[in-house]
Chains A and B, each alone.
Chain A
Amino acid sequence: MISYLPYPVRIDDITVETEDGNLKTFKLVLENEAERQAWNHVPGQFAMLSLAGQGEIPIGIASSPTEEGHLLFTVNRAGKVTTALHQMKVGDRMGVRGPLGNGFPVADKLKGRNIVIIAGGFAFTTLRATLLYMLANRDNYGKITVIYGARTPGMLLYRDELAQWAARDDVDLHVTIDREAEGWDGLVGFVPTIAGEVGPSPENAAALICGPPIMIKFTMPPLEKIGWTDDQVYLSLENRMKCGVGLCGHCNVGPFFVCKDGPVLTRAEASRLPVEF
């Protein structure tokens, strides 16, 4: 039976991710042992973060199901609930309702394929979950290419992990920033440009693209030029939502409920929907 009661959680750790302080990663631990044991999610799923007296917000789960014992959520301070969340301290109690949505098809359609992860800005969160899941099940996937861009070096998420992934020889990592910056000797250029330069082969491959709509729009032409088709490109939609289970109505895109039928869908599926996201 569907209920709207969140699981109680405690904030175990808070990391300020970006130089503007607007993005923080919250490490949450479910309070009840039984719920901690029972929790299971698929990379790409989201959950409602619940602050009693403030409200609930749908946030992608940034941790991989292979990271046991806690959940990570990277949250941009933008509205009422996220602002209240940013003021909370380690040890505080809040709630999590989920996991919700479908997630990336890591256990079926993506299995055995070469994976290209393309992310811009703070949309990297559920792709971090996906990447970690794939690295923990490395034999199930072919070549893994990651293209990740942010405005400045200080706006990149998970910088310690980026350094670790760069050192691995089973991940092809390309991190880029929008403009030259002091102390940055990595790639410079927008994500679509870098994606075109990397030119990942579409053969037996799938691309998972998350980022601002404008980035996705301009990333497609260079990929299409080298043979990528819409049915091998996975996107994750966002819309205002309340219930998270396909009932309250808010998040619908035509017949598609982002919360229940999505948030993940292929670009081919998205192109058959009205542009109401």
Chain B
Amino acid sequence: MNVYKFDEPGLAAWINKLLETVPVYCPAAKGEKCGTHPGWKKMTEVMLPGTGGPAGSSVKTFYFPQPEVLSTCSLKKNDDDGLLLKEPAPAAEKQVVFGVRPCDGRSVELNNLPYAEEKLFQQNRERTVLVGFSCSEPASTCFCQATGGSPYGTEGLDILISRQDDDFLVEILTDRGAEMAGEGLTPAPAAEITALEKLRAEATGSNENCDRLKNKDMAALYDAAFWNPLSESCLNCGVCTFLCPTCYCFDIQDEALHGKTRRIRYWDSCMFPLYTLHTTGHNPRGRKVQRVRNRFMHKLKNFPDRFGPLSCVGCGRCVVECPVNIDIREVVTDLLAVE
């Protein structure tokens, strides 16, 4: 795919052109009022991301919007098609998400592994164009390389923009990206493309942690002694799961109002006791340690065993926001120490 070069005014002009044709979302400041996508606001004027790690909220809100309507119908028996659930027309209009870090881009690719055959996820993927921004100065809580990612990684992104001194290299990575890029752009010099590729190769992390975890026995990891002390401080607040770009669990609820109903899905969290509660009152993961262990085992062992990579991109949001400082990097270390 093509690589273009912009100076700052040129990039601003290109973004302004985008703003005229398609809704563009960009990271909102902490506490800033947002619309349907918490943490992401409609871009009204050109804003380039600064340094540091990813935005406060992950891009999963664009792939699993809340609420997402699965089906609707009239609840009146005598209506035509009463009680006959039907799917709404798919949302098809394009949307651009601007300022996405490579970790978030990669999360979409990882979520695509289980969701490859899911209609709603694929529809959302088709309509969403991710414009990434390389992460030249990661935050102290960033660890994408330890999960196999790269601050210059392209996985899951449609366009990646990398700062180069005062200029920007714009890599068009997919057909979706090419459609947004338009025409008449200035190709980047070959030497600069080579330099960027070299930088990427040097910065790409390793899958060593993942491979070592896959080689360990599931039961031994499950029975490790550290889960108890680790989980003691957990409040089961669920913030880790809601912020995590690769936590994709959901709940389905029927919402009935004024003779109509809609079946919707929302994000759910395996940190909550209700998540597994049976109608009988029996709860297979009624204890906190079971829930904490389940989340980490899913991300670091069970998902890799089934799909290959870790279900973690090293964005560090859970590390930053956990009120009791549970740190997934330490959990990886603890798991790797299990014989």
The interface of chain A, by Cβ under 8 A from chain B, is: 1-6, 8, 50-56, 78-79, 82, 92-95, 238-240, 242-243, 246-250, 252-255, 272, 274-277
Flag if A252 contacts B254 (CB, 8 Å): no
Flag if B268 contacts A4 (CB, 8 Å): no
Which of B71, B279, B301 is the one whose CB lies under 8 Å from A5?
B71
Flag if A247 contacts B305 (CB, 8 Å): no
A-B contact count (CB 8 A): 113
Flag if B275 contacts A250 (CB, 8 Å): yes
CA gap between A277 and B283 in the complex, in Å: 8
CA gap between A95 and B10 in the complex, in Å: 55
User: If the complex has contacts A247-B115, A276-B284, are A53 and B256 also in contact, measured as CB distance less than 8 A?
Assistant: yes
Inter-chain contacts of A239 with B (CB < 8 A): 276, 278, 284
Interface size class of B (residues with CB under 8 A): 35 or more
Flag if A53 contacts B276 (CB, 8 Å): no
Inter-chain contacts of B70 with A (CB < 8 A): 4-5
Flag if B252 contacts A55 (CB, 8 Å): yes
Which of A1, A51, A94, A242 is the one whose CB lies under 8 Å from B118?
A1
Flag if B280 contacts A78 (CB, 8 Å): yes
For A93, the closest partner residue in chain B by CB is B83
CA gap between A267 and B160 in the complex, in Å: 50
Flag if B268 contacts A248 (CB, 8 Å): yes
Whether B236 is near chain A, meaning CB under 8 Å from some CB there, is: no
Output the least CB separation between B141 and chain A (Å). Answer: 25
Flag if B82 contacts A272 (CB, 8 Å): no
Inter-chain contacts of A93 with B (CB < 8 A): 77, 82-84
User: If the complex has contacts A52-B75, A249-B270, are A4 and B218 also in contact, measured as CB distance less than 8 A?
Assistant: no
Whether B67 is near chain A, meaning CB under 8 Å from some CB there, is: no
Whether B37 is near chain A, meaning CB under 8 Å from some CB there, is: no
Flag if A277 contacts B284 (CB, 8 Å): yes
CA gap between A175 and B306 in the complex, in Å: 42
- Segment at the A interface, from B128-136, B174-182, B204-212, B243-251: B243-251
User: If the complex has contacts A5-B87, A52-B83, A274-B222, are A248 and B252 also in contact, measured as CB distance less than 8 A?
Assistant: yes
Inter-chain contacts of B87 with A (CB < 8 A): 3, 5
Flag if B84 contacts A250 (CB, 8 Å): no
Specify the main secondary structure of chain B where it touches its partner.
Answer: mixed
- Segment at the A interface, from B40-48, B192-200, B290-298: B290-298
Whether B119 is near chain A, meaning CB under 8 Å from some CB there, is: yes
Output the least CB separation between A250 and chain B (Å). Answer: 6
Flag if B277 contacts A8 (CB, 8 Å): no
Flag if A1 contacts B117 (CB, 8 Å): yes
Flag if B254 contacts A249 (CB, 8 Å): no
Flag if A255 contacts B302 (CB, 8 Å): yes
Q: Sorted from nearest, which 9 A-B pairs have the closest CB atoms?
A: A249-B249, A53-B261, A53-B256, A79-B279, A255-B302, A1-B119, A276-B284, A78-B279, A93-B83
Flag if A94 contacts B83 (CB, 8 Å): yes
Flag if B290 contacts A255 (CB, 8 Å): no
Inter-chain contacts of A53 with B (CB < 8 A): 75, 254, 256, 261
Inter-chain contacts of B218 with A (CB < 8 A): 254-255
Output the least CB separation between B105 and chain A (Å). Answer: 21
Whether B36 is near chain A, meaning CB under 8 Å from some CB there, is: no
CB neighbors of A among B260-295 (8 A)? 261, 263, 268, 270, 275-280, 284-285, 290, 294
For A239, the closest partner residue in chain B by CB is B284
Inter-chain contacts of A54 with B (CB < 8 A): 254
Inter-chain contacts of B120 with A (CB < 8 A): 3
Flag if B251 contacts A248 (CB, 8 Å): yes
Flag if B270 contacts A55 (CB, 8 Å): no
Whether B91 is near chain A, meaning CB under 8 Å from some CB there, is: no
Which of B73, B252, B268, B297 is the one whose CB lies under 8 Å from A52?
B73
Flag if B276 contacts A240 (CB, 8 Å): yes
Q: What 13 new A-B contacts, CB under 8 Å, besides A51-B254, A52-B75, A276-B294?
A: A50-B85, A52-B263, A53-B256, A92-B77, A238-B278, A240-B276, A246-B114, A249-B298, A250-B276, A252-B302, A254-B302, A255-B218, A274-B222
Flag if A250 contacts B249 (CB, 8 Å): yes
Which of A8, A248, A254 is the one whose CB lies under 8 Å from B297?
A254
